[in-house]
Structure 1
């Protein structure tokens, strides 16, 4: 052992030295004891968040910290048909004009159909604000490809109304279904304000996109969103309705991945319900693509 090592070794076992530094040592030991479990938990959460894949937030540690901060304003009632503190659907719907109180699900000449109740338990959805994903009951790649193809088919069948392009809400790795917003010169100020409020000002016209595990974000009317949540098909996005719907509206929900052909049919009808809702007032009927 060197002279320098001998010197510090002697100092560390000297009772006078230990007594003189007792408080700082105890403080450092206490901080370490408290911080170690917290840091381990934070690292575990960060790895769990990374496992969801890119989407909605920058895919790195600062992005994770940003979504952690958003928990302060995120909803905790995402599986309740009506967002708190609302007691009546009519009060939520009134925020979005006459279309907000209507249902557009399985719409026919006799009016809308009823959303059936989903069988089984809801999938596991971690409490991260963004990205919002399910981690159980994921759809196989073939189903996800069919979902994306359906969004493209809706756009192709309604080329004057919709288009498929890169998602603004999820980022460049995702494609989304967009409403072709009218130019300011072709719409009144009141109509433009109502339409953008219905869509959420942060979306710029985007109203549906498919995630890698088969869940789907779609903007529904408040009436259809409440019905889909109550029937077990969906849950609300954590920032829905936040800041006066300047991000996304109350009807922005995550529909769970379809597990079979019957559930795929419900997915189709929910996307079409969203398309009819956001296009309300355009004077053009939304055409359902051939199956």
Structure 2
């Protein structure tokens, strides 16, 4: 449970634009290359009992971490197709997909740091953490990944809770200190509502964000099928309920 002395951790600024369907990627506010590489290195070296590699469920450019020398926690719902190994992956744009404890989804989603996967309401236990834009946001990303690792394994990573040291980024990201939680490193619902998602509707017609070819995270409609491995085509069938490429 969240203690009485917990404080909000708020992501500053507007939410980025993301795709409304799979593959679920981020189009704006992407990570600088050095931030993304630092996060990838940390994921590969800081989490015990994992092995890195290409995602088994996302587009080929997506890099993931899998449980290897540690068993999954009983009842943990991890990524398809295996459901017991891949628990987090990093997209080319710097955004993350993670499996988190469902009990913590409401607080995470209300915090403004991420959003539901397009198939979340069909039972997929996947949320997106928006691409970290600077060092302070990178530290928040690490703590959310540590929370995902704890959910996947049942073992605490040791990073503690989000915002264990007070920090203010160049964007004003405030990470307030709080006591260690006995169960989970969770984000707290902010006292103010997060900014609304950018509207994609113009003059009554629903339009997706216009793709931009110079963006590594932007995929044109024509390019998307080519980036999805053939073994994942089955997830496009409309009667499938289990999951989809991330």
Q: Which TM-score tier does this pair reach, normalised by the shorter chain?
A: 0.5 to 0.7
1:166 shift after superposition: 2.1
2:18 to 117, 125, 134: 125
TM-score by length of 1: 0.48
Tell me how many residue pairs correspond in the alignment: 159
Q: In the alignment, does 2:61 pair up with 1:217? A: no
Decide whether the 8 Å contact of 1:164 with 1:176 is kept in 2: yes
TM-score by length of 2: 0.56
**Divergent runs of 4+, >4 A:** 110-115
1:224 shift after superposition: 2.7
After superposition, residues 1-291 of structure 1 pair within 5 angstroms as 114=7, 116-127=9-20, 129-155=21-47, 158-159=48-49, 162-180=50-68, 194-195=75-76, 198-200=77-79, 202=81, 203-240=83-120, 242=122, 245=123, 248-249=124-125, 252-280=126-154, 284-288=155-159
Q: Distance in 2 between matches of 1:164 and 1:277?
A: 18
Query: Compared with structure 1, are the counterparts of its residues 207 and 148 closer, same or farther at alpha carbon in structure 2 (3 Å cutoff)?
Result: same
Decide whether the 8 Å contact of 1:218 with 1:271 is kept in 2: yes
Quote the residue 1:19 is aligned against: none
Q: Distance in 1 between matches of 2:8 and 2:151?
A: 16
Q: Distance in 2 between matches of 1:274 and 1:214?
A: 17
Q: Distance in 2 between matches of 1:122 and 1:115?
A: 17
Q: Deviations over 1:80-103 (max 9, x none)?
A: xxxxxxxxxxxxxxxxxxxxxx67
Q: Which runs of no fewer than 5 residues in structure 2 stay unpaired?
A: 161-246
1:206 shift after superposition: 0.7
Q: Which runs of no fewer than 5 residues in structure 1 stay unpaired?
A: 1-101, 104-109
More helix by share: 1
Quote the residue 2:223 is aligned against: none
Decide whether the 8 Å contact of 1:154 with 1:287 is kept in 2: no
Query: Compared with structure 1, are the counterparts of its residues 260 and 241 closer, same or farther at alpha carbon in structure 2 (3 Å cutoff)?
Result: same
Higher Cα radius of gyration: 1
